[in-house]
Amino acid sequence: MQPFGVVNRFGWGARGDAPPQEVSRDWLAGQIQGPDAARFIGVGDTADGLIALRTQRKEKMKGDPLVKPILHAEIATQLDNLLLTEQPFRERLVWFWFNHFTISLRQGNTHGVIGAYMREAIRPHVTGCFADMLLAVMRHPAMLMYLDNAGSIGPDSPAGRKSHRGLNENLARECLELHTLSPAGGYSQADVTSFAAILTGWSIDMQADRPGFVFHARAHEPGRKTLMGQVFPEGEEGGVEALHFLGAHPATYRHIATQLVGHFISDTPAPRDVARIAAVLQESDGNLGAASLALVDLPDAGRPGGKFRAPMDYATAVMRALSMGGPPSGPEDSHAPAHILLGAFAGLGQPLWTAPLPNGWSDRAADWSAPADLLARTDWAWRIAAHVRSGDPLDVAHAALGPALRRQTVLAMRQAGSRQDALALLFSSPEFQRR
């Protein structure tokens, strides 16, 4: 196991100010077997975001004056944690699973709850049972709003007969296609429709003192329903049973194994690697901690340079290498580290929490390595290097890349005309583009 390959592949890159770390399988295991050390300041829960949204609607406020500060506080504290985390493996898993269960700011109602969604529905489950995460995601108001299930009504329900409104299949379709079985699982359009009927009534109580998930029985399509050959009872319990069925389905395990191997190991996952992770999921009843640790034992897990860094990976690795981050970033401070990182994500083509479609952001090299993309990285790297006014750039290079640092890069850095130029050469080098 090559330490620098592991730090970069399974984490977010080494911090230049961190003491030398004995990187081992035990180090990685400790991050996912121990408690989550992340702490977030200045943020509330989903109910706070929904109250802000409700108040804005009621008082017809323009410009999101109540929701916008909530989003800014989430951005500041979550990106501070990304820069400073001492559990980089766990943190990468959090962001991986958020992308798997994408919520996007492109759907306006999510602004006040997207950060809470990540903290409440994703983070607590990244080392637990996949079916538990799936249930938490599907019940969360952010997902119900993003994929329009809050207004899905059974045509034959009391609410449906009165309003003449019907099913919205968005959540059911994306859950089957992206979150669980995948098209390889063999579901049909009839299954999508039946699953949408199962999920009718899964909504949000915006009038409660603390708004949140609610099951509206009057909007639920009555009767037993069949999904993938399995019969589920009516009511909220039918939805819970259906999600547990999907969350533990062999096709789901194959799908998420493919996603995990594709993210951590290779753009073209080897069938043997996918089969291994799927088997671990099957044997452990969907334990994501066990599956995550099994990734570390795959043949190519310690080899450096196996994955091209997407913009979020790249910018975070640069700023960690430069030891940026420290005191909490002010939500409105445009010069704070979190906001510099936020600007980098947008400038390099991957704006935070803004995936264009429910399938999330790609992490394949072909989607991020066009000449214009690489030129944008070089330009940003040169500008960010201006923040460094002391120290030897070669020390940064060795701390970030170790033995992966190429002789050609070292020679180019030594011949650079300034510290800024040397660092820009480092961050533009082929070896820094990969993890």
**Regarding beta strands 212-215 and 225-227, do their DSSP bridges make them parallel or antiparallel, or are they unpaired?**
unpaired
In terms of Cα–Cα distance, which of 176, 178, 181 is closest to 199? 176
pLDDT the model gives residue 410: 98
CA angle 225, 226, 229 (to 5 degrees): 165
Cα-Cα-Cα-Cα dihedral sign, residues 329, 334, 336, 338: positive
| Inter-residue contact 255 to 198 (CB < 8 Å) | no
* pLDDT band per the 50, 70, 90 thresholds, residue 215: very high
The answer to whether residue 164 sits within a structural domain is: no
| Partner residues linked to 204 by β-bridges | 213
One-character DSSP codes across 44-89: --HHHHHHHHHHHHHTT-SS-TTHHHHHHHHHHHHHHHHHH-S-HH
pLDDT in tens, 108-159: 799 999 999 999 999 999 999 999 999 999 999 999 999 999 999 999 999 9
* pLDDT band per the 50, 70, 90 thresholds, residue 20: low
Contacts of residue 59, defined as CB under 8 A and 6 or more positions apart, other chains included, come to none
The answer to whether residue 221 sits within a structural domain is: no
pLDDT the model gives residue 108: 74
4, 388, 401, 409 from 393: Cα distances, Å? 18, 9, 12, 11
- Measured CA to CA, the distance from residue 320 to residue 309 in angstroms comes to 14
The answer to whether residue 370 sits within a structural domain is: yes
The answer to whether residue 357 sits within a structural domain is: yes
pLDDT in tens, 61-95: 999 999 999 999 999 999 999 999 999 999 999 99
The gap between the terminal CA atoms of the chain, to the nearest Å, is 14
Range of the domain at 315: 311-428
The answer to whether residue 45 sits within a structural domain is: no
pLDDT in tens, 173-188: 999 999 999 999 999 9
| Inter-residue contact 196 to 168 (CB < 8 Å) | yes
* Count of structural domains, the chain: 1
